[in-house]
Amino acid sequence: MSKVADLQKAQQAITHPSVGPFVGVELLGAIDKALAVAGPAGNPGAIRERAKAYSETAKAYAQASADLESVATAKLPNAWTGSVAENATQAVLALASELTVSRKTLEQAATQLNAWADDLEGAQNTDAQGITALQNVQKTLGQDAFDTEKAVAAIGPADIAVGTRISAAQRAESSGTRTASLINQLAAKARTERAGQGTIDPLAALVLANEKGPGGGADGDYILTDNQLDRAKEFMSVMNGADQAAFQSLLSGAKSPEEAAYLWKALAAGHSVADVQQFAALIHPHGDDPAWLSQHLVPGLSTDPLQEESTTHKTLLTYKGAQILDGYDVYSQRNVGDCVAASTVVASLKLDPVSMLQVTTGNMPDVPGADAPEYFKQRLQQLFINQYQQGQLANGDQKIYPENGGGIGPKGNTFLANQNLGKATGSTYEYVDLNTDDDRRAAVNRIEKALDEGKPVPFCAYDEASKNAGKDGSYHQMVIVARDGDRLQVYNPWGQSVWVTEDQFIHNHLNDGGLTDTVNINRPYGVELPK
């Protein structure tokens, strides 16, 4: 049990003693148990020293990054012209970007460590106050343990004192958990190191790991997820010589680092070299147009106004500026009960540029009008329906949509998670029930790890009030696609994404930020987690 739980158990014994002459004795025993619980552990001074070291290192990285940017933009030798100069500039800028990411990572870590030190110090001081108060009650009552009137009078002060200790323990645990979560997320940003472990050239790995789509921030919106960096390396390491040569030829002929990154992304999504070659031929005419590549190969799941992180408002997904078509958002599942298919499909398209190109252009990128929003919507809706029907069959349903519009059960959920997300991530998903707050709290740890590795996490939720009232509550699947500290970005297949806190997820307040509008779908009850 945690310190909070141990103290709460002692508090329960303090506030609910048995009636009789031994109230004082029982109260003293409960106080002993409360005092036996250790206080918040840790050394705030040592934590602040580590934060100071991180801050000082971050300053050195900032200067080095600025110097490299100056070299890249103004001081490369004049003899380096054409593609040679462009490649040299890209490499040096990539190194500057890597240092910028490292600087921001260390600054964030330092800020969080200082906050943790403050919280820990405050918790320890508060805990000391609670201990002193309990000891005072213990001392006063020790001489009159069999005086029932004095024992009953001591219950209130003892309850307040142990409550003080509980508040201190909760503050320490919450801050420690939050710090561990953020540090784990920051550690996952060691992208270049991961990309450079293998056959790929270290400088190429540097450029590849830092490549972003248009508008990508200094430390986000990378074309390749961490997991894709790993998977691409693995696939390269087991290729035969002919396939390696063919893939290297595609990379060498790429018009831009962005084009090369999407070729790697296609390989990481599980496509054969032959499939990647066909994909490369389709996008190569636009290889030097990063905006075109981004628009046609990656749905905007994590796009927030002004590139804000953890925004508190809904963000509608758009394609080529189109939001509302026929009364529905362009990404919306419409009035079909195919939320399981719609959520996993869109999350998988974010990972698979080959499939996304087929949806955005019908694999006819140079045919005028083939990528129009109306055609995109039609292809996407058909993909939703096809996956919906496959999920129903996998679930064991005898009838499928449109005859059966009743949704998909857990077996179908897992089937589609593995078919759509498993192929692109290399993971096998399993359905996990979320019956209690503790279940959801345990799931959050696995969700964080999955998101840090670039693996989306589908989950199911319902309208708790309607269900408790005996009504047919609204059941819905959504998918978690990113995190920022203790916030989770949830994609709702009605065509929008919203940031929710982990606390809201754990305690059944999903819709506090308007995730499901007027339909109050607030309680997660099952999740598909990568094993």
Give the strands of the sheet with 487-492, arranged side by side: 315-316, 496-501, 487-492, 475-484, 457-462, 523-530, 429-433
Collapse the DSSP code of 320 into the 3-class scheme (helix H, G, I; strand E, B; otherwise coil) and give the result. Answer: coil
Q: Which residues pair with 476 in a beta bridge?
A: 461
Alpha-helical segments (H) within 338-457: 339-351, 353-361, 373-394, 410-416, 423-425, 437-452
| Tokens, residue 70 | 């100056």
Using one digit for the tens of pLDDT, what is the confidence trace for 367-416?
Answer: 999 999 999 999 999 999 999 999 999 999 999 999 998 899 999 999 99
User: Could you tell me if 330 and 317 are in contact, meaning their C-beta atoms sit under 8 angstroms apart?
Assistant: yes
Residue linked to tokens 């789509």: 213
From the number of C-beta atoms within 10 Å of its C-beta (0-12, 13-18, 19+), residue 459 rates as buried
Mean pLDDT of the 135-162 span:
88
Inform me whether the pLDDT recorded for 515 exceeds 70.
Answer: yes
Give CA separation, 269 vs 235, 456, 478, in Å: 10, 14, 22
Give the Cα separation of 431 and 413 in Å (integer). 8
What element of type H or E holds 263?
A: helix 257-268
Question: Would residue 211 be called left, alpha or beta, if left means φ above 0 and alpha means ψ between -120 and 50 degrees?
Answer: beta
Mean pLDDT of the 9-21 span:
84
Give the Cα separation of 417 and 439 in Å (integer). 20
Give the Cα separation of 371 and 119 in Å (integer). 53
CA-angle at 488, arms to 456 and 181, nearest 5°: 95
> Which carries the bigger pLDDT value, residue 408 or residue 100?
408
Task: Give the pairing type, strands 429-433 and 328-329.
Answer: unpaired
Using one digit for the tens of pLDDT, what is the confidence trace for 260-306?
Answer: 889 999 999 999 999 999 999 999 999 999 889 999 998 765 444 43
Q: How confident is the model at residue 142 (pLDDT cuts 50, 70, 90)?
A: confident
From the number of C-beta atoms within 10 Å of its C-beta (0-12, 13-18, 19+), residue 143 rates as exposed
Residue in 393, 477, 381, 384 with CA at minimum distance from that of residue 429: 477
User: Could you tell me if 339 and 356 are in contact, meaning their C-beta atoms sit under 8 angstroms apart?
Assistant: no
Half-sphere exposure of 178 (CA within 13 A, CB side): 21
Altogether, the residues listed in the chain come to a count of 531
Give the Cα separation of 465 and 468 in Å (integer). 5
Residue linked to tokens 């910028």: 100
Using one digit for the tens of pLDDT, what is the confidence trace for 56-85?
Answer: 998 988 888 888 788 777 666 555 554 444
Q: What are phi and psi of 230, to 5 degrees?
A: -65, -45
pTM of this prediction? Answer: 0.75
